[in-house]
């Protein structure tokens, strides 16, 4: 490892920790805030479920185009320059709810949240992975990605745990403050990585006027259209580049289809079934986060070199299926807490997917590689609410065709089973160096 790994990644880890702390600490509270704004005094609200599903679909549609584009831009202009945009913009939505959580302000938050997330959602983890890949040798990337995921899980634990002891207003106020600190810390301390020693990252903000090109001479609307089409072409060409990448993309799609469905449905399901509130949600997330953090920081660095990413991926997805099926048939309020313990294993899946894909890309294509996989994940985030949100709303309402409130969660588990079956066929082959 070079000096940048020892020095630079410590600041990246702190940046990711602060950013994840800010974004995750509002998750236990947002369901109660949404229900209070839209359906005050009720434990079941179809409008809230549909709005959450619409938000997920719109965000997925935006990130489908933006993730490969941001990945490409970071390959050219540097990771730090591009990561600055989402770090700053994500302050706005949580700042709105830190001021007020009335129905009017909730809708203002909702609009800003969708628009900003369409551009920025998932970009910080994606670019952080590319930053790590720039500075870590191929043989140790699985461990490094696991550590980065562990840092994110640690922030998840700390954020949700702090929510347990704060009111809704204080939760959003603290989240806004931490988001501001994260952006300032990143701008001051994080050094940009050198992607290629013979071709240094080009600063996007420079005092010198860049030379004009044919693309720059085109009208602005044409440039934007070209960039969008180029990002979709990059996505298609990258995914068909090798069988391993194609298989990993299929696993990523169905895995994220299930994860997005669970994220959009589980809290509303638990609130309707067991009358959970912000505090119970925080407890569940702390359990899941603590076990996931220990797993990624302790178990994954040990198991990854022994078992390999492909086997570890299958193990994680298998226990992810069990996790979802337990939620769907929960017969008592303690079952979700027991199910959350399975995160000690199922958190292996995402870092393993990223590591497998990273090893199939060259050193100058890490941003493109991670951006394209994030684009696939975005497709899953578009499809998931279109399928599972109506299903959740139907089976939590009085119009359900049969009494099975967790039916949508069980269907989500079947989607996860598809990703598990596909993961058994993934074969990791060495990268062909040019």
Q: Kindly tell me the burial class for residue 427, based on how many C-beta atoms sit within 10 Å of its own C-beta (0-12, 13-18, 19 or more).
A: exposed
Q: Are 419 and 255 in contact (CB under 8 A)?
A: yes
Determine the average pLDDT of the residues in 349-374.
75
List the alpha helices (DSSP H) in 121-240: 123-135, 141-163, 168-189, 214-217, 220-239
Among 107-121, 125-139, 194-208, 416-430, the least confident range? 194-208
Among 79-93, 215-229, 409-423, the least confident range? 215-229
Indicate whether 67 pLDDT > 80: no
Kindly state the DSSP code that residue 139 receives in the 8-state scheme.
G
pTM for the predicted model, two decimal places = 0.68
Phi-psi region of 41 (alpha: psi -120 to 50; beta: other; left: phi over 0): left
| pLDDT in the model for residue 56 | 80
Same fold, 1-191 and 230-428: yes
From first CA to last CA, the distance across the chain in angstroms is 23
74-97 residues labelled b (16+ CB within 10 A) or e (exposed): bbebbbbbbbbbbbbbbbebbbbb
For 257-316, the pLDDT digits (tens) are 898 888 878 888 888 888 888 788 888 888 887 887 788 778 888 887 888 888 888 888
For 179-191, the pLDDT digits (tens) are 999 999 989 888 8
Indicate whether 172 pLDDT > 80: yes
Domain 1-191 coded CATH 1.10.490.10: no
| pLDDT in the model for residue 150 | 77
For 190-232, the pLDDT digits (tens) are 887 655 544 433 333 333 433 433 334 444 444 444 454 455 5
Domain-wise residue ranges, the chain: 1-191, 230-428
Q: Are 20 and 169 in contact (CB under 8 A)?
A: no
pLDDT-derived band at 236, boundaries 50, 70, 90: low
Among 54-58, 166-170, 206-210, 422-426, the least confident range? 206-210
| pLDDT in the model for residue 107 | 93
pLDDT above 70: percentage of residues in the chain? 82
Indicate whether 54 pLDDT > 80: yes
Among 82-96, 134-148, 171-185, 226-240, the least confident range? 226-240
The CATH homologous superfamily for domain 230-428 is MFS general substrate transporter like domains (1.20.1250.20)
| pLDDT in the model for residue 406 | 87
Indicate whether 126 pLDDT > 90: no
Q: Are 193 and 4 in contact (CB under 8 A)?
A: yes
């Amino acid at each position: 490892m070079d000096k940048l790994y020892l020095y630079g990644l410590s600041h990246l880890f702190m940046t990711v920790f602060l950013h994840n702390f800010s974004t995750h600490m509002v998750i236990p509270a947002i369901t109660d805030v949404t229900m209070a704004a839209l359906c005050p005094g009720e434990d079941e609200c179809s409008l809230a479920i549909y709005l959450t599903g619409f938000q997920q679909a719109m965000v997925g549609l935006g990130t489908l185009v933006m993730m490969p584009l941001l990945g490409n831009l970071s390959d050219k202009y540097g990771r730090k320059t591009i990561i600055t945009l989402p770090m700053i913009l994500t302050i706005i939505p949580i700042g709105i709810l830190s001021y007020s959580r009335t129905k009017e302000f909730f809708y203002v938050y909702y609009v800003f949240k969708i628009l900003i997330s369409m551009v920025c959602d998932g970009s910080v983890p994606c670019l952080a992975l590319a930053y790590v890949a720039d500075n870590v040798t191929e043989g140790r990337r699985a461990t490094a990605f696991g550590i980065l995921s562990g840092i994110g899980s640690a922030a998840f634990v700390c954020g949700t745990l702090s929510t347990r002891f704060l009111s809704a207003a204080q939760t959003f106020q603290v989240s806004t403050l931490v988001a501001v600190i994260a952006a300032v810390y990143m701008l001051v301390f994080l050094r940009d990585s050198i992607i290629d020693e013979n071709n240094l990252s080009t600063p996007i903000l420079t005092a010198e006027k860049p030379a004009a090109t044919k693309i720059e001479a085109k009208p602005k609307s044409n440039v934007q259209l070209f960039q969008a089409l180029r990002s979709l072409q990059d996505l298609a060409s990258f995914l068909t580049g090798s069988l391993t990448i194609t298989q990993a993309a299929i696993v990523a799609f169905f895995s994220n289809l299930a994860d997005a469905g669970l994220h959009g449905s589980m809290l509303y399901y638990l609130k309707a079934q067991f009358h959970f509130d912000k505090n119970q949600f925080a407890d569940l997330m702390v359990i899941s986060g603590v076990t996931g953090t220990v797993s990624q920081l302790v178990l994954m660095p040990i198991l990854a070199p022994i078992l390999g990413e492909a086997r570890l991926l299958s193990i994680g997805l298998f226990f992810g299926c069990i996790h979802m099926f337990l939620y769907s048939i929960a017969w008592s309020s303690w079952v979700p807490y027991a199910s959350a313990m399975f995160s000690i294993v199922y958190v292996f899946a995402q870092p393993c997917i990223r590591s497998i894909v990273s090893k199939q890309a060259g050193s100058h294509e890490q941003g493109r590689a991670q951006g394209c996989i994030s684009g696939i994940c975005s497709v899953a985030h578009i499809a998931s609410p279109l399928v599972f949100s109506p299903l959740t709303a139907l089976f939590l309402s009085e119009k359900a065709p049969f009494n099975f409130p967790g039916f949508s969660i069980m269907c989500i588990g079947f989607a996860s089973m598809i990703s598990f079956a596909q993961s058994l066929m993934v074969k990791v082959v060495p990268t062909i160096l040019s």
